[in-house]
Amino acid sequence: MTASGTQKCALNLITGQLGAGKTTFLRQLLKHKPTQEHWVILVNEFGAVGVDGAILKEQSHTQVQQIPGGCICCTAKDELKETVLKLLNSQTPDRILIEPTGLGEPQSLVDLFHSAELTDRLEIQTLFSVFDMALTDVMEVKKLAILQSLITMADVILLNKIDLASPQKTQDFQDYLAGLFPPKLAVIATQQAKIDYRHLNYPHFPSPKFIQQNQPFKLVMPNPSSSSQQTETSISLIGCHTRQRHQDLNTQSIGWIFDPQIQFDWKKLQNIFNHLTEMPNTLLRAKGVFRVGDQPRMLFQLVHQTVSRELIAYRKDSRLEVLLTANHPFDLASFERQLADSITTERTR
């Protein structure tokens, strides 16, 4: 809801490679549009003459506007912002679907939609990335930064045209995506970009219903002298709306999720991860993505006692997950104190 009490307009980005099937995917979504809803499609094409927009106009009863002649992620960004504001002021649409050029960077669009003029009027929902499985392989994705951005920003990934790719190639891609952090909401292998249209409604950003968890976090640690030993910590973590723990046999995972506006000192995070390498019998793996400035996020990973760090095109929350052996001690209170000290966002009263 906006400050005036009116419903926010839902917004989806349909990103992907040139020719991957983004327009076909939009046509599939339009078949399931609720009759009572007003949708608007914005199509950005790299060429001077828009073709995809004309096709969509011809084959649907939904309003389609073209933004040709420049990429809305850079040279045509101001035009996109102006177009969206005019739509919101004149039509109050229920949903806007945007198809950027395949050359675009979706993180810059998400930043735009969270600008002061738009953040209270739009609710960013599922961000899709469509890949052409006939022409894409895992090695190419690992080499090209733009493909990494498309994957990182996506909530749902469509592996399209699987009928034109070998089963092994598709499986390799799925295996690669399954190992990503943070994980995707869904990875769907498809032909003609056909998926369950309900995937359209996932929230891209955390729901405003999340509130800070005030109860102490409880961690159960078995030890040789008793069947179980319960250790509690009540460390205050600014903006931490989720703490969760899962144990399966002798392995346990602990996770923290922070509000999107919380920022961290990356050097202190580096020290935290370096310290974790000193407990090889306890720590199996650690992964975290953190906001480390006005917009940038940084991905930290600790695997096989090796710490890696890289900037990542991610615009959601900050989150951390550690995987531990349950039969070795872990000083959770000390760890959370270090984590709290790495937060640079000041507490608001």
Q: How many domains does the chain contain in total?
A: 2
Distance, CA of 209 to chain centre: 18
Q: With respect to residue 297, please indicate whether it lies within any of the assigned structural domains.
A: yes
Residues 140 and 270 in one domain: no
Q: With respect to residue 211, please indicate whether it lies within any of the assigned structural domains.
A: no
The residues, any chain, with a CB within 8 Å of residue 259's CB and separated by 6 or more, are 206, 210, 239, 241, 317
Look up residue 132 and give its amino acid.
Answer: D
Residues 27 and 165 in one domain: yes
Residues 95 and 183 in one domain: yes
Q: With respect to residue 1, please indicate whether it lies within any of the assigned structural domains.
A: no
HEC assignment per residue over 103-154: CCCHHHHHHHHCCCCCCCCEEEEEEEEEEECCCCCHHHHHHCHHHHHHHHHC
pLDDT above 90 for 309: yes
Residue that finishes a domain, picked among 174, 201, 228: 201
CATH number at residue 234: 3.30.1220.10
What confidence score (pLDDT) does residue 48 get?
Answer: 44
Quickly count: other Cβ atoms within 10 Å of residue 67's Cβ.
23
Q: For the chain, where are the alpha helices, taking DSSP H only?
A: 22-30, 52-59, 77-90, 106-113, 138-143, 145-153, 167-178, 266-276, 332-341
The residue assigned the tokens 């806007």 is 96
Q: With respect to residue 206, please indicate whether it lies within any of the assigned structural domains.
A: no
Under the banding of pLDDT at 50, 70 and 90, the label for residue 7 is confident
* pLDDT (mean) for 221-231: 42
Residues 163 and 223 in one domain: no
CATH number at residue 121: 3.40.50.300
Residues 251 and 133 in one domain: no
- Among the residue ranges 230-244, 289-303, 311-325, 335-349, the one predicted with the least confidence is 230-244
Residues 31 and 147 in one domain: yes
What is the rounded CA–CA span in Å between residue 234 and residue 337?
10
Residues 148 and 193 in one domain: yes
pLDDT above 70 for 214: no
Q: With respect to residue 157, please indicate whether it lies within any of the assigned structural domains.
A: yes
Under the banding of pLDDT at 50, 70 and 90, the label for residue 207 is low
Residue that finishes a domain, picked among 149, 169, 201: 201
pLDDT one-digit tens code per residue, 23-49: 899 989 988 889 899 999 998 765 444
Q: With respect to residue 4, please indicate whether it lies within any of the assigned structural domains.
A: no
More confident residue, 75 or 285: 285
* Dihedral pair phi/psi, residue 294, rounded to 5°: -60, -45
**DSSP letters of 181-227?**
SSPPSEEEE-STT---GGGGG-BSS--TT-----SPEEEEEEETTEE
Q: Give me the domain span that covers residue 94.
A: 9-201
Residue that finishes a domain, picked among 166, 201, 236: 201
Average pLDDT, the chain: 83
pLDDT one-digit tens code per residue, 161-179: 999 999 999 999 999 999 9
What is the rounded CA–CA span in Å between residue 221 and residue 311?
34
pLDDT one-digit tens code per residue, 256-298: 999 999 999 999 999 999 999 998 888 999 999 999 988 889 9
Angle between helices 52-59 and 22-30 in degrees, nearest 10: 20
